[in-house]
Structures are given as structure tokens and as C-alpha cells.
Chain A
Amino acid sequence: MPRAPDAPGLELIAAELNETHPGSVLGTYHDHGQACLIADPEQIREVLAWLRDTPGHEYTFLASVHGVDYLPAEPRFGVHYELLNMPRVERLRVRAAVPDPGGDELPEVPSVADEWPTADHQEREVYDFFGIVFRGHPDLRRILMPEDYVGWPQRRDFPMGGEPVIFTNTEKEVPGWYA
């Protein structure tokens, strides 16, 4: 099983982070031996950079970025950054707790794609499925769904099924993703 910082270690990380960037860490928890920091989405870049650059922590490898919809809970969305310290083989999850602004507005998170190039496609995927806008992303478009698709399919309140099957002969015009 992947190793993780233990509970006191995680608290220390959180305290040091809060000292350097006040208000950046909102909480911590352990789940099945895996450690997680809940971070303020507006300061996610600072948190990740601190965890990457501070000697003694050095979570340099960003293994995965994915979105989660915790629907009844508040804040509703989570963008997870699975960090990895390769020499110690230690994993740490940072979760940006993103509230839903409601209405037609989309939640926003600063993009980390410029400093962690691996986040490029994965942030696009989160945007595609959850409608979370990554501010400053170089090319924020849908990646797996068609570009003219309406809706955010991985949200928990998005219904299953009812999707019409589109063939070339039933499409009314040149599809938007073609251009």
C-alpha cells in the first residue's frame, strides 16, 4: 500500500503551510491510511508549490488531477491533486474545496498547468465533466465530450441516459467540434 505522512506529520504540514500562507489549509484527514489536506482553492498554487519546494517535503510528482462532486455536502466540489514524493514513495492528496456559486455561474480554480504540465489534459478533463473553470489554463476546452456539448456530465445531479445517438446523417449541420 502507498505510504503517507502520519497524522502528526500531516498536522505539522498543515500548521507550517498556514504559517507561510495564512488560511491556505482548511482541514486535514486520514482515510484508510491515506493523508489528505483540504486547501483553499484560491491558494492552491501556493500550497502545491510549497509542498514541492520546501526541503523535507518535496512532493514533486503530480500523479493525478481529478474532480469529485460531493453533492449534498458543502463546499460541493473537490479538485484532487494526488502528489507523490518519489524518493520516499509517499503520497499526499490535496483537495481544493470548491464551492458551487449556483445559478449559471461556474466555479473557478486557478490553473496549475503552467508549473505542472501534466495537469494540462487533466484539468481539461475536470472542466469537461464538472464545469470547473481553471483560470489561466492555456487551452481550456472540452477534451473527451464533443465541443458543442451542453451540460457537465459527471456532476451528481446530471441524469443518466436519455442521450440521443447522433449519426452523421441525423446531424443537422457541420458539427462544431470539426473546425
Chain B
Amino acid sequence: MSTTRGSTPAHGRDVVARSAAEVVGYSAVERSDAYPDIPGREAEGLAGIDLEQELMTINLGPHHPATHGVLRLLVSLRGEQVVDLKPIMGYVHTGIEKNCEDKSYWKAIPFVERMDYLSYFFNMQAFVGCVETLLELEIPPRAKYLRVIHLELNRLHSHLVWLGTSALDLGAMSMFFYCFRDRDRILDLFEMSTGQRMHTRYFQVGGVFEDIPVGFERKVREFCAEFPSRIDQFEALLTNNEIFLHRTKGVGIVPRERLLALGVTGPLLRAAGEPWDLRKVDPYLPYGEFDFNVPIGTVGDGWDRFKVRIQEMRETVKIIEQALDGLPEGPILADDRKIVLPPRHELGTSMEALIHHFKLVTEGFRVPPGEAYYPVESPRGELGCFILADGSAKPARVHFRDPSFVNLQAFRDMSVGSYVADLIMSLAMLDPILGGIDR
């Protein structure tokens, strides 16, 4: 376990923000007696109230670049301090869960990918893993390893987008370019192995869609060899950056017990010191065979959240390298012709394969009645998929427990009492993806 640092410094403006709510506005310009008579204030019954004591309610978003999507925050401010906050969402609700009920299982995979658009492999794994649980289908080892490689590359991709946009929110513009440069290399890798840069539909029930092409392993190894030095460069830009330290240290702290009560998982919970990672405690793919650490923080402020994710990227690189080392030979799809498509070359020679192909494409496979909940560790926390099967080729209910949706409830605790600028920082370190929240 690697921890990030010792205790929080007990000074700075955040302490001011927490302890004495009335110390906003030191300068004479901000004092209300500098403006003794603003017209209309008597009529509103506000004559005796100081200007900075007055509550102001504003909307942050939905179209605001710092809200990382179409999140609308109804914020009550006293001066520049956040007094209350209410997230309002649903602006990109597309009814994916309802639509899945109208699609056969294999057609629902591209749908669920598009929910949390930065961790599409995780959405796929949750859905496909849940269907495999319902079918009690075991997938071949090579498929499991290929899934791990792509999942972990996806985790890097998601964290890079988070790092770039969060640093951008805090004014570090160049981080955005550096992160997106490396993110693009991961997308190139996805394009090479799956044919698509995003929303690849690479996983399918029973395994993966295609074996990796020649040269893919070499490219991933090149990337993995280079990427730790890239992380060093990111850290060189941020970890000793005084502005970044002042903005993040000691800001947005929520105690661990409160986070657990709020159902928060993922890097946010680990930053508060709880070593909870489903890959470690409840290994679902061959994660139990890999040697990796779960980075945790101590305090749970913005700084710890930043460090935990940075360390997670290093550990992820280690997992990818080990998965490439241990990549077994063999089939990439389970050998069950009632569920997985037959190989293309058999269609020309085998009537049975042709019939299976036709039936699987037109009707899809049937799943015996039952229900299952299948959680995976996505870059943002526990991503759970619940499916109720009624015995037909379409699911009767698909529900995704999206980590962004649940984690967002902790945002009020993080930001009430702090400044608006710290609210932006807390939101960046929360890393919500609105596609996942609204589904």
C-alpha cells in the first residue's frame, strides 16, 4: 500500500472557510457600507442586511465547461461562499435502460457502452459479465486476458481525460494537451485491435470479438515502457506546483465514514484511506493472478484524490505488462454454438453453422429466467449491472448502478462552506461523467 503523505497543514484559507463563515470580504470595497443606498433594497425588505450576508442563488451549468458535461448546480452563495448546493441532472437522459429491454442481449451491448462514454469497456464488461453469470458461461482464458488488457488501457484513457480536464479547470492549460496526446495513443491502440477508437463493442457474450492483430502486443509494450515516464512528466508539472498545491490541499474533505454512508466507491473512497478495490477484494477476471497495489490516501482532500489516481495509472501499467506476459494461447470465444457466433469460415461449408448464425443474428440467444447483479471496478468506482431475464432473447430489466450517479451525492458535503473556486476543484476531483449519471 502506498500512502501519499502525512497530515494536513492546519492553515490557509480553507480553514478560514470552514471555521468562520462571516470573514468573507476583508477589503473596504466589498463592505456593504461602501454602498449605503442601492436603489430598491428597501422595497425588497433588505435594508438592514449586509450585502455579503445576502444569499444569492445562481445556476452553474448546465452549459459550463467546468461541470464536465451538462450538470446543473443550483448554488446558494453568501458572498463567495457556498451555503447550499443541489445538483440537477437528466439533461442527457436517453433512456438506455428502457431501450435495452427492446433489444436482444447482443444488440444491447453497443447501447450500454454509450452510457459512461469514457469507460466503455467497463460498461461492456459489467453487462457481458452479468449475462455470462445468468448463462453460467465460462469464457476461455485468452479472452479474459484480452479483456483485462483492454479494460486497463481504458482505465488509463479515462484517467488521462480526467487529469487533462481537471488540470485545465485549475488553470494548467498545457496538461490538457499532454494528456490528450497520450490518450490519443491509447485510442490508436484500440483502433488497431478493435477497429474503433471509442465505443468498440469488442467484448461479447462468451469472449471477445476478434483476436489481437500482429504487432499489437509490441505496440502496447512500447506504450507501457514509455508511459511511466509520461506520468513522471505530469507529476513534474503538478505535484510541486504551488498553485496546484494551494488549490487542492485540505480542500473538499469528507470523512471516510460519511463517504461510506453515501455509497461512494472508487478513487474517492480510496483517497480517504479505505483500501477498497473490487479487483483486489473480489477478483472477477484473472485479476487475482496479477501483482499490483491499491494506492490509498490519508485525508481524502483533492490532493489525495489526485495522487491516488496518478498512482493508479502506474499500477495499471504494471497490470497491462503482466497480462501481456501471461497472455495464454487458445480460443477467444467460448465453445457454445447456441450463444456465440460460429467462425466466419464455417459458414461456407457447414449448414449447421449457417443455421446457428442465422438464428443468433435474427433472434439472438435466450437467457434462462433469473436475475443477477454483477459489479466491476470502473475508473470511478463500483459499476454494477443488474439484469432480470425472463427466458426470452431480450432482457426484462437492465439497470446500471453508475458510480458517478452515486458519488455525486457526496458533492454537497465536499463543497458546502468552501469557495466557488474550491467547488470547481472538488467537482474536477470527483470526476463525474454525465453520460453515466443520466444514462
Task: List A residues at the B interface (Cβ < 8 Å).
Answer: 1-3, 31-34, 36, 60-64, 66-70, 80, 82, 86, 89, 91, 93, 116-118, 120-122, 125, 129, 142-146, 153-154, 156, 158, 160
Within the complex, which residue of A31, A122, A154 is in contact with B406, where a contact is CB–CB below 8 Å? A122
The answer to whether B210 has its CB under 8 Å from any CB of chain A is no
Contact present for A82 and B401 (CB under 8 Å): yes
Contacts of A145 in B (CB 8 A): 90, 93
Q: How many residues of B contact A (CB 8 A)?
A: 41
Contact present for A63 and B134 (CB under 8 Å): no
Distance A82 CA – B130 CA, assembled complex (angstroms): 15
Within the complex, which residue of B260, B261, B373, B405 is in contact with A34, where a contact is CB–CB below 8 Å? B373
Contact present for A118 and B388 (CB under 8 Å): no
Within the complex, which residue of B90, B98, B276, B399 is in contact with A66, where a contact is CB–CB below 8 Å? B399
Contact present for A118 and B276 (CB under 8 Å): no
The answer to whether B380 has its CB under 8 Å from any CB of chain A is no
Contact present for B260 and A61 (CB under 8 Å): yes
Distance A160 CA – B96 CA, assembled complex (angstroms): 12
Contact present for B396 and A156 (CB under 8 Å): yes
The answer to whether B55 has its CB under 8 Å from any CB of chain A is no
Contacts of B134 in A (CB 8 A): 32
The answer to whether B6 has its CB under 8 Å from any CB of chain A is no
Within the complex, which residue of A64, A82, A125, A153 is in contact with B95, where a contact is CB–CB below 8 Å? A153
Question: Can you list 22 A-B contacts (CB < 8 A)?
Answer: A1-B133, A2-B373, A32-B370, A34-B372, A61-B260, A63-B263, A63-B382, A64-B399, A64-B406, A66-B401, A67-B399, A70-B388, A80-B386, A118-B409, A120-B409, A121-B408, A122-B406, A144-B439, A145-B90, A153-B98, A156-B396, A158-B98
Most chain A C-beta atoms within 10 Å of own C-beta, residue among B98, B375, B406? B406
Contact present for A117 and B93 (CB under 8 Å): no
The answer to whether B384 has its CB under 8 Å from any CB of chain A is yes
Within the complex, which residue of A3, A36, A122, A146 is in contact with B90, where a contact is CB–CB below 8 Å? A146
Most chain A C-beta atoms within 10 Å of own C-beta, residue among B281, B397, B401? B397
Contact present for B98 and A154 (CB under 8 Å): yes
Residue in chain B with minimal CB distance to A36: B371
Residue in chain B with minimal CB distance to A71: B396
The answer to whether B102 has its CB under 8 Å from any CB of chain A is yes
Distance A139 CA – B218 CA, assembled complex (angstroms): 54
Residue in chain A with minimal CB distance to B372: A32
Within the complex, which residue of A34, A62, A160 is in contact with B98, where a contact is CB–CB below 8 Å? A160
Contact present for A143 and B90 (CB under 8 Å): yes
3 tightest Cβ-Cβ pairs between the two chains A and B: A118-B263, A64-B401, A144-B90
Residue in chain B with minimal CB distance to A3: B282
The answer to whether B315 has its CB under 8 Å from any CB of chain A is no
Contacts of A66 in B (CB 8 A): 386, 399, 401
Contact present for A63 and B384 (CB under 8 Å): yes
Residue in chain A with minimal CB distance to B408: A121
Contact present for B284 and A1 (CB under 8 Å): yes
The answer to whether B225 has its CB under 8 Å from any CB of chain A is no
Distance A144 CA – B71 CA, assembled complex (angstroms): 11
Which residues in window 382-402 of B have CB below 8 A to A?
Answer: 382, 384, 386, 388, 396-397, 399, 401
Contacts of A33 in B (CB 8 A): 133
Contacts of B101 in A (CB 8 A): 156, 160
Q: How many Å from the CB of A119 to the closest CB on chain B?
A: 8
Distance A122 CA – B262 CA, assembled complex (angstroms): 11
Distance A121 CA – B134 CA, assembled complex (angstroms): 28
Contacts of A122 in B (CB 8 A): 405-406
Contact present for A31 and B409 (CB under 8 Å): no
Distance A103 CA – B276 CA, assembled complex (angstroms): 46
Contact present for A63 and B276 (CB under 8 Å): no
Contact present for B90 and A32 (CB under 8 Å): no
Contacts of B80 in A (CB 8 A): none
The answer to whether B438 has its CB under 8 Å from any CB of chain A is yes
Contact present for B406 and A91 (CB under 8 Å): no
Distance A148 CA – B134 CA, assembled complex (angstroms): 37
Which residues in window 258-277 of B have CB below 8 A to A?
Answer: 260-264, 276
18 further A-B contacts with Cβ under 8 Å, apart from A31-B371, A89-B281, are: A1-B133, A2-B282, A2-B375, A32-B372, A34-B373, A64-B384, A66-B386, A66-B401, A67-B399, A82-B384, A82-B401, A89-B282, A117-B409, A121-B408, A125-B405, A144-B90, A153-B98, A158-B98
Q: How many Å from the CB of B73 to the closest CB on chain A?
A: 14
Distance A179 CA – B312 CA, assembled complex (angstroms): 42
Q: How many Å from the CB of B435 to the closest CB on chain A?
A: 12
Contact with A along B132-143 (1 / 0, CB 8 A): 011010000000
Distance A160 CA – B394 CA, assembled complex (angstroms): 14
Distance A142 CA – B408 CA, assembled complex (angstroms): 16
Distance A67 CA – B261 CA, assembled complex (angstroms): 20
Contacts of A36 in B (CB 8 A): 371
Distance A120 CA – B102 CA, assembled complex (angstroms): 29
The answer to whether B188 has its CB under 8 Å from any CB of chain A is no
The answer to whether B324 has its CB under 8 Å from any CB of chain A is no
The answer to whether B97 has its CB under 8 Å from any CB of chain A is yes
Contacts of B89 in A (CB 8 A): 143-144
Distance A60 CA – B89 CA, assembled complex (angstroms): 28
Contacts of B90 in A (CB 8 A): 142-146
Distance A21 CA – B373 CA, assembled complex (angstroms): 27
Q: How many Å from the CB of B259 to the closest CB on chain A?
A: 10
Contacts of B408 in A (CB 8 A): 121
